[in-house]
Structure 1
Amino acid sequence: MDKYENVLKQLQNGEIDSIEIDKDEFYEFREVLVKHPFFKHFRGDAKQNGRIIYTYLEIPRS
């Protein structure tokens, strides 16, 4: 789970533009994501075959 926290921190700091999560790791990742203090700033776009691309938004989604 620390790997997901580190990746979210990198995404938030602008060190990386996006992260790609496969369907096999989605539930483990989501558990970390929903506990993140800036949860509403992360946006996930579903792609084919269960992949999700997450990006960071400066303005939180509603």
Structure 2
Amino acid sequence: MKRKLKFFTYGFYIGTILLACGLVASMIVENVTMKILLILIPLAIYWFFLIGKSIIEDKIKNEK
């Protein structure tokens, strides 16, 4: 269980970095479709790892 938590924690951090980079890149790009994709794809990755991390933390908390 700790390995999964470590995986989701690092994924959460990487998702946060990708989201920040996507926001900056979307300010530079002219195309509206690319702006939306540069925000939504990293946001989906961020939410995936955020939800997974919370579920695993709850399971660990309930075991104790």
TM-score (norm 1): 0.28
Structure with the higher fraction of residues in helix conformation: 2
TM-score (norm 2): 0.27
Structure with the higher fraction of residues in strand conformation: 1
